Amino acid sequence: MSQHHFKTEVSRLLDLIIHSLYSHKEIFLRELVSNASDAIDKLRYLTVSDEAYKSISFEPSIRVVLDRESKTLVVEDDGVGMDEKELEENLGTIARSGTRRFLEKLPEEARKDSNLIGQFGVGFYSAFMVADKVEVTSKKAGTETAFRWTSDGKGEYSVEPAERVGPGTEVRLHLNGEGQEYLARWTVEGLLKKYSNHIAYPISLVSEEKKYGDEGKEEGTERKEEVVNAATALWRRPKSELSEADYVEFYKSFSASLGGFGFGAEGAEAEPLLWMHTKAEGAIEYSTLFYIPSKAPSDLYRADYKPGVKLYVRRVFITDDEKELLPVYLRFVRGVIDSEDLPLNVSREILQQNRVMSSIRQASVKKILGELAELAKVNPDKYAKFVEQFNRPLKEGLYSDFANREALLGLVRWKSTAAEGWTSFADYRSRMKEGQKAVYYIAGADEERLRRSPLLEMYRKEGIEVLVCSDEIDELVISGLGQFDGAEIKSVSRSGSEADFGEAEKDEAGSEGGAEVAQAVEKAKKALGEAVKDVRASKRLAESPACVVVDSDDPSLQFRELMKQLGGGELPDVKPILELNPGHGLVKRLAAAPEAEAEDLAQVLLGQALLVEGAKLADPVDFAARLSRLLS
């Protein structure tokens, strides 16, 4: 037996891994199983590519053995194995130039931009988080002698000849006090299904379990061995081999693994609304399988929502808690991204922001939006079900994802004064009247109130369609769009939005009763003073006496409320513009009223116009008093 000292860099790296790099000790099992899978991949490749190995016959498998009596956990594979030199190089001397440079940069670079796992094999050292001694017995394929590497991770390791029948590697962990929780079969089985369920080779879990008789009496122990992983990555199989039932069954299993996506038991059992399966080959190779749920998760609008996309690298689970795999507005998408060459950091827990991930993300977003557009085209009824659940997140995309805005403009749906159910911008555009200058919308918190708003009276009379936007984010989203297909997008609550009425109404100064309405406007201005920005005759009112609008450059009431909710603070107060209906009896009464009554009338007209728009009155008691005086 030969005794060796770890290089200084190895000791530093061991301390770093054990105390800093892994936030969950359970990661050790993922790393060891991943290494076992890699070793089998290498031998499988050699048996078909190298004449020296083609005579080797093996059945790829991985075994995890639990022994409560000896307090050991073993991970064993029948892969390519290692000889004495490779054991020393891979497990005892990892101070290669790249590793040394990494360690030298740690203080100033805060452990960023690292890619050691896989490249340097340091994932193996995570075993020392749960073990006070590790033994690695390995026999390289095509050789006659096996060797055993042993260390307590504290400074020394030994290498000696050992016995092993076939090629492969056995990693035996002598578990420490904290690590003995991994002797429980249900714990280890859960971790294997969580992290390694879709490793392409069967993973057998072996343990000694208590045996009970017919009357529940303990009768010793029995050896239990069973395959615990699916042993197939469904997303890597050709679509031609998969049936609809395969996709649905995988979705249900996948749903359960994420805790039902926040749906609860009923939602976890629901079938998906849509799925899309892609395999990309070329400069960047990856597979994706995405699902659109039939119901929105309960945490869809919570800041601490659970992401629904799992990341794998070569079938090895990396994370299901990374919110950057897809844009936030697609947080309802569930599925898998499996990359062949995605770089990862030391712990495999935080993705590097790199070209590979960026390319996968961009292509995935385009694929998802493209499939939704196709669904809307070929199956409008099914797409309507999607809209009922996920319309609002797509609106968030309109605000945040400029690169895909055109695609999102075609997907988002709105309510309308001219159509039942949902309508799109394209639908609206196709129904615009000849000569109509803009796409009009009204925004607020209550759909029914919006539909009854005085602001819509003349639009309704003139047969001009208005989009009804009652989601709380609508004002923020739609006000930033500017135009659609050459038509300006305008709010009916803004000054000047009635321009489409054109010559349909005479200018107030030249119309019959023009002098009368001018007198009403002047009296209202005098009575209201600084409470309003302006008072003017309206072209948009047909039945109501008055309405309020905002100047074209001022934020709307709905926008100000939304900014307050989003933590943007209080925006400066915006004074409304009061518009009066020249033909209404109250406006004519205002024109003829003495000063005291005119003040009450003007204040009541402003107050009722504000109430209709959902605003709060500054002085409800004063409003009620003025209304009482007018009624009496």
Does 157 lie in the same domain as 85? Answer: yes
pLDDT score for 558: 63
pLDDT score for 561: 63
Return the H-helix or E-strand segment holding 72: strand 72-77
C-alpha 579/C-alpha 495 separation (Å) is 9
C-alpha 532/C-alpha 534 separation (Å) is 5
Given a contact cutoff of 8 angstroms between Cβ atoms, the answer to whether 308 and 331 are in contact is yes
List, in sequence order, the alpha helices (H) in 138-294.
Answer: 185-196, 244-257, 264-269
Token pair of 613 as six digits:
């728009």
Does 519 lie in the same domain as 424? Answer: yes
Does 313 lie in the same domain as 221? Answer: no
pLDDT score for 163: 94
pLDDT score for 572: 64
Count other Cβ atoms within 10 Å, centred on residue 104. Answer: 11
Given a contact cutoff of 8 angstroms between Cβ atoms, the answer to whether 557 and 614 are in contact is yes
pLDDT at 506 over 50: no
C-alpha 420/C-alpha 379 separation (Å) is 17
Q: Which residue has the tokens 């399966």?
A: 277
Of 185, 208, 230, the last residue of a domain is 230
Residues making up the chain, counted from first to last: 632
Count other Cβ atoms within 10 Å, centred on residue 8. Answer: 12
Of 362, 384, 406, the last residue of a domain is 406
| Mean pLDDT along residues 396-408 | 94
| Residue 172 structural domain | 2-230
CATH code of the domain in which 259 resides: 3.30.230.80
Under the banding of pLDDT at 50, 70 and 90, the label for residue 411 is very high
C-alpha 394/C-alpha 335 separation (Å) is 18
pLDDT at 346 over 60: no
Considering only 315-324, 334-343, 440-449, 606-615, which range has the smallest mean pLDDT?
315-324
Does 338 lie in the same domain as 201? Answer: no
Does 250 lie in the same domain as 161? Answer: no
Name the 3-class secondary structure at 124: helix
Does 428 lie in the same domain as 389? Answer: no
Does 489 lie in the same domain as 392? Answer: no
pLDDT score for 324: 84
Does 368 lie in the same domain as 259? Answer: yes
Token pair of 164 as six digits:
């092993």
Closest CA to 277 of 263, 255, 259, 292: 292
Does 218 lie in the same domain as 269? Answer: no
C-alpha 436/C-alpha 488 separation (Å) is 10
Under the banding of pLDDT at 50, 70 and 90, the label for residue 509 is very low
Highest mean pLDDT among 21-25, 345-349, 618-622: 618-622
| Mean pLDDT along residues 400-408 | 95
Does 353 lie in the same domain as 309? Answer: yes
pLDDT at 474 over 80: yes
pLDDT score for 487: 92
pLDDT score for 145: 95
pLDDT score for 270: 76
pLDDT score for 264: 37
pLDDT score for 120: 41
Does 427 lie in the same domain as 395? Answer: no
pLDDT at 344 over 80: no
pLDDT at 25 over 90: no
Considering the chain, what is the average pLDDT of its residues? Answer: 84
Return the H-helix or E-strand segment holding 136: strand 131-139
| Mean pLDDT along residues 597-609 | 94
CATH code of the domain in which 121 resides: 3.30.565.10
Count other Cβ atoms within 10 Å, centred on residue 358. Answer: 11
Phi then psi for 249, rounded to 5 degrees? -65, -40
Task: Annotate 460-490 with three-state secondary structure.
Answer: HHHCCCEEEECCCCHHHHHCCCCEECCEEEE
What is 406-449 written as a DSSP string? Answer: HHHHHH--BEESSSSS-B-HHHHHHHPPTT--EEEEEE-S-HHH
Given a contact cutoff of 8 angstroms between Cβ atoms, the answer to whether 17 and 122 are in contact is yes
pLDDT score for 108: 44
Does 221 lie in the same domain as 101? Answer: yes
Highest mean pLDDT among 51-65, 121-135, 541-555: 51-65
Given a contact cutoff of 8 angstroms between Cβ atoms, the answer to whether 405 and 453 are in contact is no
CATH code of the domain in which 547 resides: 1.20.120.790
Highest mean pLDDT among 201-205, 336-340, 565-569: 201-205
Given a contact cutoff of 8 angstroms between Cβ atoms, the answer to whether 340 and 285 are in contact is yes
Buried b (16+ CB within 10 A) or exposed e, 563-586: beeeeeeeeeebebbbbbbbbbeb
The percentage of the chain sitting over the pLDDT mark of 90, rounded to a whole number, equals 51
How many structural domains are present in the chain?
3
Of 172, 203, 230, the last residue of a domain is 230
Question: What is the tens place of the pLDDT at every residue in 226-252?
Answer: 999 988 888 988 999 999 988 988 888
What is 189-227 written as a DSSP string? Answer: HHHHHHHHTT-SS-EEEEEEEEEE-TTS-EEEEEEEEEE
pLDDT at 515 over 70: yes
Question: What is the tens place of the pLDDT at every residue in 420-470?
Answer: 999 999 999 999 998 888 999 999 888 999 999 999 999 998 899 999 999
**CA-based Rg of the chain, rounded to a whole angstrom?**
35
